[in-house]
Amino acid sequence: MVRIIDRRFDSKNKSAVNRQRFMRRFKNQIREAVADAISGRSIKDLDNGESVTIPSKDLSEPQFHHGRGGIWENVFTGNDQFSSGDQINRPQGGGGGGTGKGKASKDGEGEDDFVFNLSREEFLDVFFDDLALPNLVKTQLARIHEYKSQRAGFTNDGTPANINVVRSLRGALGRRLALGSPYRGQLRELQQQLEELLETRPEDDPEVLRLKEEIGILRAKIEAIPFIDTFDLRYNNRIKVPKPTTQAVMFCIMDVSGSMDEDKKATAKRFFMLLYLFLTRTYEHIEVVFIRHHTIAKEVNEEDFFHSRESGGTVVSSALEMMKDILHARYLNGAWNVYGAQASDGDNWENDSPHCRELLADTILPFVQYFAYIEITPGEPQNLWREYEKLIGTHANFAMQHIEGLPDIYPVFRELFKKKLV
């Protein structure tokens, strides 16, 4: 007797554990791939997975095999030209003849690098991993959308709690009018006839009595039309819409002077990305303004922002001036929430730093929700840091952080995040 078992609805992800093991084992390669991806991506592009390539030699599971060389004698099919004793040149590229070990691998994968795809969640996981975010924050950031329910007209069905009384009664009235109107027409006619008849005939004339009876029937029919019918009921309709449609603008200011090397820029990029992620949580629409500066500031596109290299001295105030100008020109009509993020190695022209502080305090901080400054330098804080330090305490919407490694980035946002939770 045969047993037929339907396993199709059994647990699906039997291999999930093995996949996790695989990810854990190749964490370093995956991290590198994510780091590469981050440097290659737009800071807004965090909603996609990533394909990760791992060199096949890292993945190999070695076994004892024969290598090439020595004497091999193999059998092939489809002889079309050979007789025994024939001498043949070795085929180029080693196909066929070679080791006879079937090393070309059955599935044609051969020696290619191993490529696989990270899902969006896995990608963010790795991204967050570097930044040492608390778990709560991770889940909140990784959530795609928050919805709120919103009225959207009326429907014909729903729960009793959502009945819209006015609409329902209006409908009922309309229905009663519509259904009753033919009777009412007849009624009016009969009444007119009756009046005419009464002028010539006495009250108890049989014709009059008949008309009165008919009028009575019609009235009863009109009465019989139900006051309200399930057909009349209208319900308030609610639909889910993605949460706030408010908008924000994010200013990214970065020092691109000679002292900012690629590593520092990569750190800065993560900082900007994280801020962007935080903002997407709260705002539907976000614009990003990129300002880079050395001695003079320039508004650029993202590509140039991260990849073009400049050299020379540093005048931070130039960037702040520019931010102020852009801010006032485009974003101060009350419709925008403004965020600022500045990254620098803190190496500023000495006399400029106090000016920066004033600029920030007087012309920028009053208009922004939040301004974060990170100083990416391995050593002692620089002069800009010392100036900015004076702002802390007097301005609640200002945060700064000295960053040596990636895990230092998150604390910058801690305050910001707390505020948003309330």
Partner 1 sequence: MSAKRQKRKQPLPAPGEWTFELIEAYHAEIDRVARNYGLDTYPTQIELITSEQMMDAYSSVGMPVNYHHWSFGKSFLQTEKSYRRGQMGLAYEIVINSNPCIAYLMEENTMTMQALVIAHAAYGHNSFFKGNYLFKQWTNADAIIDYLIFARNYLTECEERYGEEEVELLLDSCHALMNVGVDRYKRPEKLSLNKELTRQRERAEYLQSQVNDLWRTLPTAHVKTQAVEERRFPSEPQENLLYFIEKNAPLLEPWQREVVRIVRKVGQYFFPQRQTQVMNEGWATYWHYTLINTLYDEGLLADNFMLEFLHSHTNVVYQPSYNEPWYHGLNPYALGFAMWQDIRRICENPTDEDRYWFPDIAGSDWRETFDFAMRNFKDESFIAQFLSPKVMRDFRLFAILDDDKESKLKVSAIHDEEGYRRVREILSDNYNLGSREPNLQVWNVDLRGDRSLTLRHQAYQRRPLSGDADEVLKHVARLWGFAVRMEVAREDGSVEVLHECRQERRKTDT
Residue 14 interacts with partner 1 (CB under 8 A)?
yes
Site for partner 1 in 68-107 (CB under 8 A): 68-80, 82-90, 96-98, 100-102, 104, 106-107
How many Å apart are CA 295 and CA 51, to the nearest integer? Answer: 39
CB of 16 to partner 1, least distance (A): 9
What are 310's two structure tokens?
């400049």
How many Å apart are CA 405 and CA 46, to the nearest integer? Answer: 21
Among 42, 48, 111, 116, the residue binding partner 1 under the rule CB under 8 A is 116
How many Å apart are CA 139 and CA 137, to the nearest integer? Answer: 5
Residue 418 interacts with partner 1 (CB under 8 A)?
no
Residue 19 interacts with partner 1 (CB under 8 A)?
yes
Among 92, 93, 108, 393, the residue binding partner 1 under the rule CB under 8 A is 108
Query: Terminal CA-to-CA distance of the chain, rounded, Å?
Result: 66
Site for partner 1 in 238-257 (CB under 8 A): none
How many Å apart are CA 193 and CA 216, to the nearest integer? Answer: 14
The sheet with strand 297-300 has its strands ordered as: 297-300, 285-293, 247-255, 336-344, 370-376, 398-403
CA distances from 364 to 50, 136, 258, 291, 312 (A): 37, 31, 27, 15, 26
Residue 206 interacts with partner 1 (CB under 8 A)?
no
Among 45, 47, 111, 115, the residue binding partner 1 under the rule CB under 8 A is 115
Sign of the alpha-carbon dihedral angle for 392, 395, 396, 401: negative
- Fill in the per-residue mask, 32 to 71: x = in contact with partner 1 (CB under 8 A), - = not in contact: ---------------------------xxxxxxxxxxxxx
Only one of the segments 8-16, 239-247, 312-320, 335-343 lies at the binding site for partner 1 (rule: CB under 8 A); that segment is 8-16
Residue 361 interacts with partner 1 (CB under 8 A)?
no
Among 36, 45, 47, 109, the residue binding partner 1 under the rule CB under 8 A is 109
CB of 141 to partner 1, least distance (A): 27
How many residues lie near partner 1 (CB under 8 A)? Answer: 67
The residues that bridge with 336 in the sheet, in sequence order, are: 247
What are 286's two structure tokens?
């976000």
CA distances from 233 to 78, 157, 389 (A): 81, 8, 65
CB of 6 to partner 1, least distance (A): 5
Binding site for partner 1 (CB under 8 A): 1-8, 10, 12, 14-15, 17-26, 59-80, 82-90, 96-98, 100-102, 104, 106-109, 114-116
